[in-house]
Amino acid sequence: MKHAGGYIADSRIRAIEWLPWAFALLCYYAAPSYLSLGSYILTMILFALSLDLILGYGGIITLGHSAYFGTGAYVAGIVAVRLTGEPLVGLLAGALAAGVLGLVTGMIILRTRGLALLMLTLAITSVCFEVANKATSLTGGADGLGGFSLLPILGLFRFDMFGKTAYLYCLAILFASWWLVRKLVYSPFGASLTGVRENNLRMHAVGAPVYQRLVASYTISATLAGLAGALLTQTTQFVGLNALGFQLSGELIVMLVLGGVGRIYGAFVGPLVYLVLQDYLAKRFPEYWYFGIGAMLVLVVLFARGGILGIIDAGILRLRRKS
């Protein structure tokens, strides 16, 4: 049972694909006191989406995606402190910086695969972490970077304490990114990426520029991760070193795999389930919420390959067979 993770000729948006957006808007009205959690979930969905592009479609397993997320976050913060409080400028600067870092590091490390690649990504994010820790005059070091304020978005929408603007802002950026990723995945470029994941050697054999494709997708993915990082900075108006920590990368992989890899919407379901459950458990059992999350991960792996969306697939399949 292979999931549909690649080139599909019919790229029109199906009705069900509007469901997440309707749900997100419903949450805005139905749960106004959960908007700060909501913004965070939207940000992590964007981050997971960026990972899905290289992990799900390109087959690159990385523990270092927070390098780009953190770069975006810090650049957005530094822009707000030193240059301008205009959010869109910070957002673009963060994404751009992360993209450049992604291009440079990607060119260096994407010649390797497997464990070596995993460790290289991990080492890169650790180096970034130490650089940010050392460069206290720019980043605030372990104290973090804060104390900046942002202008209203486009001069119209002020960031409010209840996180209404932040939520809609995140939603809009996520929507645009989703549109882009979807276009990309359903294009010949996306198809060639899937090809690389499924059979690297054969792609070489048919003359596909594998390395270039990987670097290109890695760069795009890093840019999106930077965008997510910048969003986090702007919605919380603070950046801390943990944005660069490899723990965040690990958590991200967990969320994405939990949702389901290589199918775009896994990146939506995973963070939502993971973070809502974490929020719920952490409130009730602040010391032991880890256990519940861990048990969920173990059960999902043992009883359902392909994450939560995999379970749903299997369920639908079963229903169809019965009827």
Partner 1 sequence: MQDFLSSLVNVAFHGIAYGMILYLISVGLSVTMGLMGFANLAHGVFAMAGGYMMLSAMSGLDVPFPLAIVGAFVAVALASMVLERFLYSRLYSAGELEQVLFTIGLIFMSVALARLVYGPLPQPVFIPGYLKGQIHLLGSGFPAYRVFLIVFSVALAGLLWFGVERTRWGAMVRATVDYRLMAQSLGINTARLFTLTFGLGSGLAALGGALGAEIIAVQPTYPFEHLVYFLIVVAVGGLGSLRGPFVAALLIGVFDTACKYWVPEFGSFFIYVATIAVLLWRPEGLFGKAT
Partner 2 sequence: MRLKLSTLIAVLALSAAVGSATAQTVKIGVITTYSGPTAGQGDQLDKGFKLYLKLNGNKLPPGVKVEPIFRDDTGANPDAAKRVAQELIVRDKVQFLTGVVWTPNAAAIAPLTAEAHVPFIIANAAGWNIPRMSDYVARVSHTLPQSAYPLGKWAAKKFKRVYTVVADFAPGHEAEAAFIKGYKDAGGEIVGSARVPLANTDFIPYMQRVKDAKPNAIFAFNPGGKQATAQMKAFGDLELGKAGIKYIGTGDITADEELQNMGDAALGVLTVHHYSAAGDRPANKSFVAAYKKEYGEKLNPGYMAAVAWDAMDLIFHVIREQKGKIDPDKTMQLIRNYKNPDSPRGPIQIDPETRDIVQNEYLREVRKVNGQLANVELEIVETQYKDPWKEFNKAK
CB distance 83 to 62 below 8 Å:
no
The piece of 95-103, 208-216, 235-243, 310-318 that touches partner 2 (CB under 8 A) is 235-243
Q: Which does 61 bind (CB under 5 to 8 A by kind): partner 2, partner 1, none?
A: partner 1
**Dihedral, CA of residue 232, residue 237, residue 243 and residue 249, to nearest 10:** -20
**Residue 254 binds partner 1 (CB under 8 A):** yes
Binding of partner 2 by 287 (CB under 8 A): yes
Label residue 72 exposed, middle or buried (CB < 10 Å: 0-12, 13-18, 19+): buried
Q: Binding to partner 2 by residue 175, rule CB under 8 A?
A: no
Tokens of 208: 């596909």
Residues 198-214 as b or e (16 or more Cβ within 10 Å = b) = eeeeebeeeebebeebb
From the list partner 1, partner 2, none, partner contacted by residue 112 (C-beta under 5 to 8 A by kind): partner 1
Q: With binding defined as CB under 8 A, does residue 297 bind partner 1? A: yes
Among residues 242, 280, 294, 295, the one that binds partner 2 under rule CB under 8 A: 242
Contact of residue 141 among partner 2, partner 1, none (CB under 5-8 Å per partner type): partner 2
Report the distance separating Cα 135 and Cα 320, nearest Å: 58
Judged by beta carbon distances under 5 to 8 A according to partner kind, the member of partner 1, partner 2, none in contact with residue 219 is: none
Which one of 92, 107, 293, 311 is in contact with partner 1 (CB under 8 A)?
A: 293
Binding of residue 154 to partner 1 (CB under 8 A) = no
Sign of torsion over alpha carbons 95, 52, 186, 11: negative
* Residue 17 DSSP one-character state: G
Nearer to partner 2, 147 or 209 (CB): 147
Among 116, 142, 206, 301, binds partner 2 (CB under 8 A): 142
Per the CB < 8 A criterion, the answer to whether 56 and 4 are in contact is no
Q: Which of 9, 161, 201, 302: binder of partner 2 (CB under 8 A)?
A: 161
Output Rg (C-alpha) for the chain, integer angstroms: 19
* Of 310, 323, 229, 318, nearest in space to 269 by CA: 310
Residues 85-114 that bind partner 1 (CB under 8 A): 108-109, 111-114
Q: How far is CA 114 from CA 8, 33, 109, 204, in A?
A: 28, 43, 11, 17
For position 291 contacting partner 2 by CB under 8 A, the verdict is no
Binding site for partner 2 (CB under 8 A): 30, 33-34, 36-37, 40, 130, 133-134, 136, 140-144, 146-147, 161-163, 232, 236-243, 282-283, 286-287, 289-290
